[in-house]
Chain A
Amino acid sequence: MSDASDGRRRHRERWRRRVCLERQLHDGAALRISSMALRLGALDRAAPQRDIDALQDEVAAALEELRAVAGQIYPSLLLEAGLGPALRELVTARGADAAVHVTADRAEPAVEGAVYFALADVLEAAAGPLTISVRTERGPAPEEDVVVVVIEGADPALAPPVLDEAEPLGGTVTVEDGAETITARFPCA
């Protein structure tokens, strides 16, 4: 195995670990804290209601922070429902001015994660309206499929953060001259 393909393999392994970390947060700390909210609510009315309310607010705030961290590790919706729903949710949550068209098939967590976080960076930095399309380009074999992301209306300066996510998977990013269109290719294996 060449050094380059070994590097890509290890990078994909890191993505899988991120998926596991999110799962651990969800099934562990988050569930434990959520159940505290319910136990507080079931406490005997001898306890002062104001104290219970204050503790429940703290619990809700802790969960909100956990959700934010989990979303940075690997969004649960991305794992469960794929790029289309996850990107639409991201655009809605950020109030971003972007149209998202996803026709891509489900891909492994590394590829979907890389595409998602690359576009999250772009949405964060972009000013104007964006049109983002994500499709699968079929290869001769399934492991040669490529997820192609086209971002229209993007400042070419946004290409480097996209490349940061695409390159470790063996992908590429091209910018069309003067067209404000970034095209990124994420190989599926």
Chain B
Amino acid sequence: MRVALAEDGALFRQGLVMLLEAAGHEVVAVVPGGDELVAALANDPVDVALLDIRMPPEPDGGLVTAERLRAAHPDMGLLFLSHYAESHYLVRILEIGTEKVGYRLKEKVGSVEVLSDTLSRIADGEIVIEPVLAKRLVERPRNDRKDVVATLSDRERDVLRLMAEGRSNGGIASELYVSGKAVEKHIASIFDKLGLHGDASVHHRRVLAVLTYLRSQRGEN
């Protein structure tokens, strides 16, 4: 696979290049910041770009860089690496895209197998999320989400599946030949059945709903 890497820490950058090459990937660009990455890939996109979240342009250059890359090369996969696994960043990442994206802790991609698996799942179109974060988000207290997706109606499951594919409410409405209002009603009902109410913003709940769905698809509970 052809990959590129932007990370401001020299030691970590070297370690990652070593591992990527050991895994047999072709590292076409290694740069210390986001602007350099955008420039390096302008005419030569890669399969997956690996980005540190906290790098220049400060404070979270990985995210603004990813937005620019996604706009310029919609088919290019994006893998965010960070010292912290935070739902705040996951939400921001899923705003950039819900296909071909990944968010993992830096130390958790430390083997040829894990790194290659993460990269190829992203290149195949999947969302790859650090397991500890997905677990924390889905296993909220006072909620037992076991088989909760099974309690949804067929139509609600269709809506949730399209949410998981990153469609907007308008996109879901036209896909299912229903009104925007109807979609909103289904989403409210999904949130309700998944126990997602109260303190979280609508966007946060949307992400949680999608994560619940993704986990149920993978047979995890």
Q: A: which residues have CB within 8 A of B?
A: 26-27, 30-42, 52, 56, 59-60, 63, 67, 76-77, 79-81, 85-86, 88-89, 91-93, 95, 97-100
Contact = CB atoms under 8 A, between A and B. Distances in A.
Interface of B: 9, 11-12, 14-16, 18-19, 22, 54, 59-60, 83-84, 86-88, 105-112, 114-115, 136-137, 140-142, 198-200, 204
A98 B12 contact: no
B86 A77 contact: yes
B140 A38 contact: no
Nearest to A39: B15
A63 B108 CA distance: 11
A85 B88 contact: yes
Interface hub of A26, A59, A81, A92 (most chain B Cβ within 10 A):
A92
Interface hub of A34, A59, A80, A93 (most chain B Cβ within 10 A):
A34
16 contacts: A26-B54, A34-B12, A35-B14, A35-B15, A38-B18, A38-B106, A41-B110, A56-B107, A60-B107, A63-B107, A67-B84, A76-B54, A77-B84, A80-B54, A88-B87, A95-B141
Contacts of A89: 86-88
Given A41-B115, A76-B84, A99-B199, 13 more contacts: A31-B9, A31-B83, A35-B16, A38-B19, A38-B107, A38-B109, A39-B19, A41-B111, A42-B112, A56-B107, A67-B83, A77-B86, A92-B136
B84 A95 contact: no
Nearest to A62: B107
Contacts, number: 102
A38 B106 CA distance: 9
Contacts of A41: 19, 22, 110-112, 114-115
A67 B54 CA distance: 15
A27 B59 CA distance: 13
A93 B136 contact: yes
Contacts of B204: 88
Contacts of A34: 12, 15, 83, 106-107
Given A81-B88, A92-B137, A99-B199, A26 B83 contact: yes
Contacts of B109: 38
Contacts of B140: 92, 95
B11 A32 contact: yes
Nearest to B92: A81
Contact of A100 (B9, B105, B137, B199): B199
B15 A38 contact: yes
A84 B110 CA distance: 32
A162 to B, nearest CB: 20
B39 to A, nearest CB: 24
A100 B198 CA distance: 10
Interface hub of B84, B112, B114, B137 (most chain A Cβ within 10 A):
B84
B137 A42 contact: no
Contact of A77 (B15, B16, B88): B88
Contacts of B199: 88, 91, 98-100
Contacts of A93: 136
